Amino acid sequence: MAKWGQGDPRWIVEEQEDGTNVNNWHWCERDATSWSKGKLREFLVGISELKQVEGEASCSSCKGKLIFFYEWNIKLGWKGIIKESGAKHKGLIEIPNLSEENEVDDTEVNVSKKKGDGDVLKELMRTVGTAQVREALGDYLTALKTEFIVGMILPTKATATQELTIKRKLSENTLQALSPVLLGVRIPTVALHMTEMFDTAVEQLYSIFTVKDLVQKFSKSPAILEAEKEGKFQMFDGNITGEYIELLTNKKIVMKWRCRNWPEEHYATVALNFVPTPGTLQLDCKGVPACKEENMKFCWKQQHFEEIKGLLQLTTLNG
């Protein structure tokens, strides 16, 4: 068996728990079709009535690189009323080919309306409506390339070098200059409250959020953690960043918390309360951008809670 640092890198066995797909060399593909349909509905439903979403999407990794494929045919229905006459009109917005071959701004968006007057409404949908649709499609692609791919590129032995680079960046960016006055920009926000039960003691649950090795195991990606007051953290390959505000061992963690695709300099406040009844976690979050509410719920439910339960189950089996 090859030793670390020797031989063809395709066959060097890293310190992976299961020893699979070392160095992220081998081809790995994940179907994103069902996930994408949900995201497209989430981003488009507020603009027009979603009538059709046909196509497929997937993400592949090979040699440590990500390759995206998506091809969608989308139809939206629009309705409008001419103020002067009160006449009602409706029509369609069609995106015949949203794919990786074209940029969002170059993607074809066709607007039509049923017979009769109402050209003013059609022109409004062709200009303003098209811009909103393209913005929503851009949000979907951002989510595909950030949220969906979490865990696809496994940590490698180069993680230590990456962490050093990340730490340098953290020391140079605005996280160090955060103050109560500059927590974010003024945007519509919402508050979230979630409660989750874990089959473990609160001591172990608390450590999963404060010990770097455990964070990297449940997130399946490199992390930076300074688990102390005013300490910085960075998770999921830099998609999540923030700062610890308060830590009460085995009882409470309060953080400034943001996702990379949020408005610049905007942070939410996340409080984790650990209740020994047994292993109950209460999440209270304030300041979440209203347009990112569902993304935030998904992030905590699927990428945190479910992954932590998987880690705890694995730990129990190995124990």
Phi, psi of 308 (to 5 degrees): -65, -40
Tell me which residue of 209, 294, 309, 216 sits closest to 255, measured CA to CA.
Answer: 209
CB-based burial label for 129 (10 Å; 0-12, 13-18, 19+): buried
> Looking at residue 104, what is its pLDDT?
87
Residue 102 CA, distance from chain mean position: 23
Spell out where the chain has E strands.
Answer: 28-31, 49-62, 65-81, 88-99, 110-113, 189-197, 224-225, 232-235, 240-248, 252-259, 268-275, 280-289
pLDDT of residue 146: 86
Tokens 């993680």 locate to 159
Answer yes or no: same fold for 28-148 and 189-318. no
- CATH T-level fold of 28-148: Bactericidal permeability-increasing protein; domain 1 (3.15.10)
Q: 10-residue block means of pLDDT along the chain (319 residues)?
A: 45 47 63 91 79 92 81 89 77 92 89 78 82 89 87 53 51 42 59 92 93 91 92 90 95 94 89 89 93 87 90 70
How far is Cα 32 from Cα 142, in angstroms, rounded to an integer? 13
Q: What pLDDT does residue 198 have?
A: 92
Instruction: List the domain boundaries for the chain.
Output: 28-148, 189-318
CATH architecture of structural domain 189-318: 2-Layer Sandwich (3.30)
